A and B are shown apart, each in its own frame.
Chain A
Amino acid sequence: MKHWVSQFNARMDRWGERLSQKELRIPVDLTVGILFFLFALAILLVMPQQVAISEKDAVNGRAFPTLLMVVMMICCVMLVGKELYKIVTKQPLNWKTINLQTELKALVILAILVVTYLLCRFTDLFVVGAVFCCLGFLVYFRCKKPSYYVITITIAVVIWAAFRFALHVEF
């Protein structure tokens, strides 16, 4: 078992090493500008279906979200315009470097969170998800101390019991 775990860890380290070299560079202002411009446009397009209005309204329920989306679009145009000006005048753009190893690790953490949620949701027993969450993170951090496993799982059960029996939260 120990051998298998260390083999698995070694393989992960090798992958990690390789991934840590790989980086993605994105022009962040340009991306934000385009992405949120499209988002604002999409919201404006779905507005008639999503927000019902009455003829009696002095200022109807669409006015405020429309105003917000217009402001967002203006901001996006400014961001994109600024970046385009930089391209024309050959100034350096605002770049953001994304490390693939970090993103993959974040995805693993997100997966632990999602599975925790799904376990809670479908077993309708919060403590099941809580115990999985503890195990998930302890494994993620490659914890080898048995005492940490005992302590964390005990605390998780105690938290559930406190909410369930003392605060009467039904889960």
Chain B
Amino acid sequence: MLQYILPATGLLFTLENILWINIGVFVGSVFAAIPGLSVILCVILFLPVTYTMTAIPGMMFLLGIYCAGGYGGSVSAILINTPGTPHAAATMLDGHPLSRQGRTKAALKIALYASTFGGIFSALMLLFLGPQVAKVAAQLGTAEYFMVCVFGLTIIAGVSGKSIIRGLVSACLGLLISCIGTDPMTSYDRFTFGIPRLYLGLDLAVCLIGLFALVEILAKAEKSLGELHLDTTKIKDDGKITRQEYKRMARPVLMSSIIGVLVGIIPGTGASEASWFSYNTAKNLSKHPEEFGNGSVEGIAAAESANNAVTGATLIPLLTLGIPGDGTVAIMLSALMINGLNPGLSLFTTDGDIMYAIMLGLILVNLFMFIQGKFLTTLFAKVVSIPQEILTPIIVIFCFAGAYSVNENYFDVAVALVFGALAWILRKLELPPVPILLGLVLGRMTETNFRRALLISNGDPSIFLQSIYCKIFLALIIIAVAAIIRGKLKEQKAAKAAAVQKESN
């Protein structure tokens, strides 16, 4: 490794690379901050820019977009209660409430610091433990993937609000929606009702626009214009994070970075899953779980560090085994292969300098994301003080343009509208929207792996308990369920105590 570091540094630290990193970081932050414009869409749109570049500047540009996209999604989640990208949905739960408390800049800063830490942590993991970790990840099969999904579904309880039953109804709805389109196991169509556009299924980014962005627009009906305007007396926002808050953030950030890396190395899982897993874990381990959902600094830090910790980790199976961890990384794989680099362990010896330059470059990308983020935070924070009359139509235009851009057709805009109306009705029925999102994220993966595992085992369910990894995931599921029951018992006890106190008063 050491013999490659010096030549790799020489390859990396050129003016061209630094420039492309910065352009990539800027483009990624801005794109991801706009609802509907996902990171993968951004990478697809800007991929042609790399055609004329060599491998390193091309990869640096794409990595800039990828990493900054991880952070950028949090901006709109914090400012307008709409996650710019699906993986920023968990950030929204606490980011926006903190912003409503007049601490927008602080919320943005927490997201930035946590993202940077998560990103650098995973880059270091890639650099020092990449090949070893990849070998373990390569052993995870269909049954293990299913167990990961089941573990993910336990999060529903944590995001269901007051009633787990209502959360389950929402989650079932989300999981059902994920079934729309071509059956991944048989290629037959399901629930398309003769509508040709539904054969492709519903795009997550489009559903997200309806569920979170357009419903917020409809919610403007609940308040008068005067109420909608930000109370300027509340803005005492100097963006300062107290020492105690830093202390409280430390554990969830570290924990979530580890979770992000673990999730990231498993191909097929991504930043959305990581941020939810981490958010849930941070809530379960926190001394102040009651703050989650009301502007908890731990919640923002956990979600953001996890979704950025995925960035370096998804590169581990890519660079060491040639397996792309998610769609965005798959496009990076093609950027490498177009330059004649066929990723795999052999590439570490034949083109070690290029491989290490890319891995070191990831650290650099995160540092530049931090620097740019520091400047951009000031600008982003101003969004909340834009008058509602101007901001509301602009958000709608971005949402419609974003939904249209996904497949370049108006059908997706109509789908977003339908989801917006549906979310409004669900809000009236007090059904939480976050479990729907979880269902959409995990649905296809859960079903496919469940069915495939049973096909492999000829219908024998013991396949889900055979490997050591399955047993580890089972233990995690049991711990998660126990934590849910413990939390509910605590809540009941507190409610009873409050009732007794009320009576005695």
Contacts and interface: CB of A to CB of B under 8 A. Distances in A.
Do A and B have CB atoms closer than 8 angstroms in the complex? yes
Interface of A: 28-29, 31-32, 35-36, 40, 43, 50-54, 57-61, 63-65, 68-69, 71-72, 75-76, 78-79, 96, 98, 102-103, 105-106, 108-110, 113-114, 116-117, 120-121, 126, 129-130, 133-134, 136-138, 141-143, 145, 148, 151-152, 155-156, 159-160, 163, 167-171
Contact of B389 (A57, A64, A129, A138): A138
Nearest to A64: B447
29 contacts: A50-B192, A52-B186, A59-B454, A61-B186, A61-B190, A63-B451, A64-B451, A65-B190, A68-B172, A68-B176, A69-B172, A72-B169, A78-B165, A79-B165, A79-B169, A106-B218, A108-B221, A109-B217, A110-B420, A113-B420, A121-B414, A130-B393, A133-B397, A138-B393, A141-B389, A152-B390, A155-B394, A159-B397, A169-B401
A160 B408 CA distance: 14
A106 B225 contact: no
Interface of B: 45, 165-166, 168-169, 172-173, 175-176, 179, 183, 185-186, 188-193, 214, 217-222, 225, 387-390, 392-394, 396-398, 400-401, 404-405, 408, 410, 413-414, 417, 420-421, 424, 428-431, 446-447, 450-451, 454-455, 458-459
Given A36-B169, A64-B447, A130-B397, A169 B225 contact: no
Contacts of B176: 43, 65, 68-69
B401 A163 contact: yes
Contacts of B392: 137, 141
A75 B176 CA distance: 15
What are the 5 tightest A-B residue pairs by CB atom distance, in nearest-first order? A105-B221, A106-B221, A72-B172, A137-B393, A52-B188
Given A78-B165, A129-B400, A133-B393, 19 more contacts: A31-B429, A40-B172, A52-B189, A54-B188, A57-B451, A58-B455, A59-B450, A59-B454, A61-B190, A65-B191, A76-B169, A106-B218, A116-B400, A117-B410, A117-B414, A134-B397, A156-B394, A159-B394, A160-B397
Contacts of B217: 109, 113
A28 B389 contact: no
A108 B461 CA distance: 52
The main secondary structure of chain A at its interface with chain B is helix
Contacts of B429: 28, 31-32, 35, 96
A136 B389 CA distance: 10
Of the listed residues B185, B192, B214, the one surrounded by the most CB atoms of chain A closer than 10 A to its CB is B185
Given A75-B169, A137-B396, A148-B387, A121 B431 contact: no
